[in-house]
C-alpha cells in the first residue's frame, strides 16, 4: 500500500503540484518557480531524495494541481498577508487523499509545509521555492 502512495506522490511531484482556481492571493507569487520538494513517509525504510522541478504558478498560491483521473475539492483556503493556508480533498485511482498546508511567500522565495492523509497512511511534505520570473 505505501508503495502505491509513494508512486502516486512521485507522479504528482513530476507533473507539478501547483494551481487551483484563482481567488485573492498572497502578493507576488505568480510566475515561474523552481520548487524543491522533500517527503517524509513514516515507516519507509529509506529516505526519499529531494525532487526539484519548474512550474508556472498562478496567482492563488495553493500548491496542488489535480493529476490525471483525479477529482479535487478545495475545502478551505485563507490568505493572511503573504501566507496561504489551505485544505484539499482528492479522489483518484489510488483512493481518497486529504491535504492541509501552509505556504508562505517572502519576496521571490516560498516555503510550504503539507500534511497528507490517505487510507494507506500519513505523509508530510516540505517545499521550498525560488521565483525565476514571469511564465513563458
pLDDT digits (tens, 9 = 90+) for 76-109: 989 898 898 989 998 888 789 899 999 999 989 9
**pLDDT given at position 64:** 62
Asked if 129 and 114 touch (Cβ cutoff 8 Å), the reply is: no
**What are the cell numbers at 42?**
513514516
CA pair distance 20, 86, nearest whole angstrom: 11
Q: How many helices (H) and strands (E) does the chain have?
A: 1, 7
Is 0.85 surpassed by the pTM of this model? Answer: no
pLDDT digits (tens, 9 = 90+) for 24-60: 345 457 888 898 999 888 777 777 789 988 878 776 6
Domain range list for the chain: 2-133
Strands 31-40 and 51-57: antiparallel
Q: Give residue 111's pLDDT.
A: 94
Per-residue confidence (pLDDT) for residue 22, from 0 to 100: 35
The architecture (CATH level 2) of 2-133 comes to Beta Barrel (2.40)
Amino acid at each position: 500500500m505505501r508503495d502505491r502512495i509513494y508512486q502516486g506522490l512521485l507522479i504528482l511531484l513530476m507533473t507539478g503540484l501547483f494551481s487551483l482556481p484563482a481567488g485573492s492571493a498572497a502578493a507576488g507569487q505568480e510566475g515561474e518557480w523552481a520548487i524543491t520538494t522533500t517527503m517524509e513517509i513514516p515507516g519507509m525504510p529509506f529516505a526519499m531524495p529531494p525532487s526539484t522541478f519548474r512550474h508556472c504558478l498562478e496567482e492563488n498560491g495553493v500548491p496542488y494541481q489535480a493529476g490525471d483521473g483525479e477529482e479535487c475539492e478545495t475545502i478551505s483556503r485563507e490568505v493572511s498577508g503573504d501566507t496561504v493556508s489551505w485544505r484539499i480533498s482528492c479522489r483518484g485511482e489510488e483512493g481518497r487523499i486529504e491535504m492541509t498546508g501552509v505556504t508562505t511567500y517572502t519576496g521571490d522565495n516560498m516555503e510550504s509545509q503539507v500534511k497528507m492523509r490517505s487510507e494507506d497512511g500519513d505523509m508530510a511534505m516540505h517545499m521550498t521555492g525560488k521565483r525565476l520570473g514571469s511564465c513563458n
